[in-house]
Amino acid sequence: MTILEDRPSNPAAGDHDRPIGHGRMQRKEDPRFVRGKGHYVDDIVLPGMLHGAILRAPVAHARLVSIDTTEALAHPKVLAVITGTDLQALGLAWAPTLSMDVQAVLVTDKVRFQGQEVAFVVAEDRYAARDALELIQVEYDVLPPVVDARKAMDPSAPIIRDDLAGRTDNHIFDWEAGDKAETDAVFASADVVVKQEIVYPRVHPAPMETCGAVADFDPIDGRLTLYETTQAPHAHRTLFAMVSGIPEHKIRVVSPDIGGGFGNKVGIYPGYILAVVGSIVTGKPVKWVEDRSENLMSTSFARDYIMQGEIAATKDGKILALRTNVLADHGAFNATAQPTKYPAGFFHIFTGSYDLAAAHCTVTGVYTNKAPGGVAYACSFRVTEAVYLVERMVDILARKLDMDPAELRLKNFIKKEQFPYANKTGWEYDSGDYEPTMRLSMKMAGYDELRREQKEKRERGELMGIGISFFTETVGAGPRKDMDILGLGMADGAELRIHPTGKAVVRISVQSQGQGHETTFAQIVAEEIGIPPEDIDVVHGDTDQTPFGLGTYGSRSTPVSGAAVALVARKVREKARFIAAAMLETRPEDLEWEKGRWFVKGDPSVGKTIAEIAMGAHGTIALPEGIDGNLDAEVTYDPPNLTFPFGAYICVVDVDPGTGHVKVRRFIAVDDCGTRINPMIIEGQIHGGLTDGVGMALMEIIEFDDEGNCLGGSFMDYLLPTAMEVPDWETGFTVTPSPHHPIGAKGVGESATVGSPPAVVNAVVDALAPFGVVHMDMPCTPARVWEAMQGRTRPPV
């Protein structure tokens, strides 16, 4: 049955209408944001604060011959100029990355990408700091760069990482998943095999707020307070302690309001470390905030995967196997932010939503003279690349078999009764019911009618395309038996206190960059203990105020921290039962729970509300043995498995046959993220991700020229979609709860970014079918689309 969702009424409308728990309610954080009272890193001003600026390398590969800072130091407002040599003396010239490599904080020996950090100026104001950069004289001995990842392993390629002992090539790792022999055997006997090189070009998360920090080192008690744009304050604190030698209890990391993250703010960038060094050297707080070019040219990029895909099927459309060899460009340092064991992230979920007999992938990582990164931009640890590969390959197969792409997908889905489903590369999908989701999207789109319209238009020479993508995400990293980042298990903590008057504070280890944690997590607590969300304060983003946990990325907040919050609330609820029993002079087992209240079984009029119980806990009644006098609890949640949200997306495009310009006319998105907490916030997460997908599919790319110059170093060339490029999104949902999550929620933050790019590209390729186009790589700019129409599809890199 299809129904329109009732929109719960406004929370301001009166107590009787307020959702106690799950449901649409306005965000608790919005009143400050709409008044301009958000508090972001660049809004912080501390007494005596100085400003830092980074001198960056103008070339991609060069030996550093000399740096002369004399003139800069002579600037009347300059207090310090820090170079790589200075850092070497402190043992801080190199810092560990999140992928067991090292990255230069400041260049000591060699520049390895354009925009790399060369020197750090500390001055009285930001204008003077910028002026002084021009006064630093640097001599470079320019070297030939490695720009094309395909040539990185050529014997003649220059060795980028000669800082690593014994390094004789640009190879980082080889990694594989699945059974090669089994897969090859299935391919050998398949009726149909199609192959395609598929490139997912380098893109950038580009949050509207760039990265920055304010470091405040107190030389007297040796305490560092670091305000940072970070998605993972606790992990940063631990890593800072490990790198700097400042003991962890003397470090406080504060992540205030963050102007978008999308994975850009997971890693530790040289700028953060330099702000700390600047504060230590000058004895004053130092602020560093990068400009947009610095953000685009030096911080974590995403993707850059060259994938050779192959799909095998029977001639009647039963997909049998998938295999791929991937060349991964990781830039000059292997700094991808992902669980330690997975150098290709979760790419090996590339079997997608289909029940396959075999699958195998290999991934080879190489160094190039480009900025480091790779895992960012709402990619769920490279599920983006995986979904893009499989959803493009399925479409290419549909073309080969002359089958409708929707029909081909429906025929090959993992069936509801197969869950939990073990795929061929080691994942256990928790739950799924794909067909209803697919059918709903087709119904919302009017799929058959669209195909009829397309047929008519083709006869008139008009180019209309319909693209489908069905994705399965894997999020909520992750079980500590399988996953860690630099040895830190990927768990999250939560602490809940009910104050004597029945108001509450919940402290969480994840950090919002706009996802609405202050609302969603209050709603989870509200649902579990029955007090209104507005009576629950959510504290996050400050390591002194919150329990340890790994932070917000990979759509893990609700699957991991959300579970922790539900469990801590249940722990409080259970404790409340004992206290209520004492207050009512009965036995705990004689009490029954209704939202917000324990009452005596069979006599609902006798009971105690959570507020009464909280007062009781802090009051004077005799408490049962083993129950201490508060209504507080804490938990650390180690997820037993990941969660597997999924969705069906349909994109309709019109292509101007004369110019190659693509217009996204409609976009239908049906998501299943399990139990839904706040539908308004969920819809917002999906809308944002769909826009990312349109951006990547049509315009976003970080390109380099032959000298390694970054061609996407400003918003003039790194194009992001505006309100004019995206349609009014049409969203729908199904609900398939996660069986292992306490409230059945699966996470949704990255679903749409992961799932939407193939829908758009499939639509463009579908539109270009009359020209014989089977595949084109992103971005589908007017020029590239026109070239495809001329039979000249070309990879973007």
Question: Where do the H-state alpha helices sit in 530-656?
Answer: 563-584, 610-618
| Cβ nearer to other proteins, comparing 35 with 481 | 35
DSSP characters over 191-246: SEEEEEEEEEEEE----SS--EEEEEEETTTTEEEEEE--S-HHHHHHHHHHHH--
| Cβ nearer to other proteins, comparing 607 with 688 | 688
d(CA 122, CA 287): 9
Tell me the backbone φ, ψ of residue 215, rounded to 5 degrees.
Answer: -105, 135
Beta bridge partners of 463: 655
By CB under 8 A, what part of segment 468-527 binds other proteins? Answer: 513-516
d(CA 289, CA 309): 41
Q: Three-state DSSP class for 717?
A: coil
Assess contact for 782 and 698: CB atoms under 8 A. no
| Cβ nearer to other proteins, comparing 418 with 659 | 659
Q: Which of 340, 590, 714, 771: binder of other proteins (CB under 8 A)? A: 714
Q: Which stretch binds other proteins (CB under 8 A): 235-243, 252-260, 379-387, 590-598?
A: 252-260
| Cβ nearer to other proteins, comparing 183 with 264 | 264
By CB under 8 A, what part of segment 438-457 binds other proteins? Answer: 439-440, 444
Tell me, rounded to whole angstroms, the distance of Cα 794 from its chain centroid.
29
Q: Which stretch binds other proteins (CB under 8 A): 125-133, 195-203, 218-226, 552-560?
A: 125-133
| Cβ nearer to other proteins, comparing 379 with 491 | 379
Q: Is 731 in the site for other proteins (CB under 8 A)?
A: yes
By CB under 8 A, what part of segment 778-797 binds other proteins? Answer: 781-783, 786-787
| Cβ nearer to other proteins, comparing 127 with 621 | 127
Q: Which of 127, 341, 415, 663: binder of other proteins (CB under 8 A)? A: 127
Other beta carbons within 10 Å of 195: 12
Q: Is 711 in the site for other proteins (CB under 8 A)?
A: yes
By CB under 8 A, what part of segment 555-594 binds other proteins? Answer: none
Q: Which of 86, 101, 257, 329: binder of other proteins (CB under 8 A)? A: 257
| Cβ nearer to other proteins, comparing 489 with 684 | 684
- Tracing tokens 């075999």 back to the chain, one arrives at 358
Rounded to the nearest whole angstrom, what is the least distance from the CB of residue 595 to other proteins in the complex?
A: 23
By CB under 8 A, what part of segment 345-384 binds other proteins? Answer: none
Buried b (16+ CB within 10 A) or exposed e, 334-371: bbbbbbeebbbbbbbbbbbbbebbbbbbbbbbbbbbbb
CB-based contacts of 151, cutoff 8 Å, min separation 6: 157
Q: Is 36 in the site for other proteins (CB under 8 A)?
A: yes
Q: Is 222 in the site for other proteins (CB under 8 A)?
A: no
Q: Three-state DSSP class for 442?
A: helix
Q: Which of 165, 181, 208, 622: binder of other proteins (CB under 8 A)? A: 208
Q: Is 679 in the site for other proteins (CB under 8 A)?
A: yes
Q: Is 680 in the site for other proteins (CB under 8 A)?
A: yes
| Cβ nearer to other proteins, comparing 181 with 724 | 724
Beta bridge partners of 590: none
Q: Which stretch binds other proteins (CB under 8 A): 87-95, 127-135, 147-155, 606-614?
A: 127-135
DSSP characters over 43-80: G---TT-EEEEEEE-SSSSEEEEEEE-HHHHHSTTEEE
Q: Is 134 in the site for other proteins (CB under 8 A)?
A: yes
Q: Is 461 in the site for other proteins (CB under 8 A)?
A: no
By CB under 8 A, what part of segment 401-420 binds other proteins? Answer: none
- How many residues bind other proteins, per CB under 8 A? 103
Rounded to the nearest whole angstrom, what is the least distance from the CB of residue 725 to other proteins in the complex?
A: 6
Beta bridge partners of 608: 598
| Cβ nearer to other proteins, comparing 4 with 165 | 4
Q: Which of 207, 233, 256, 465: binder of other proteins (CB under 8 A)? A: 207
CB-based contacts of 411, cutoff 8 Å, min separation 6: 317, 318
Q: Which of 65, 728, 772, 791: binder of other proteins (CB under 8 A)? A: 728
Assess contact for 353 and 470: CB atoms under 8 A. yes
Rounded to the nearest whole angstrom, what is the least distance from the CB of residue 30 to other proteins in the complex?
A: 5
Q: Is 660 in the site for other proteins (CB under 8 A)?
A: yes
Q: Is 76 in the site for other proteins (CB under 8 A)?
A: no
Task: Using alpha carbons, list the distances in angstroms from residue 361 to 358, 406, 421, 422, 620.
Answer: 11, 25, 19, 17, 65
What value, to the nearest 5°, has the Cα angle with vertex 726 and ends 722 and 729?
135
By CB under 8 A, what part of segment 287-306 binds other proteins? Answer: 289, 291-293
Beta bridge partners of 102: 96
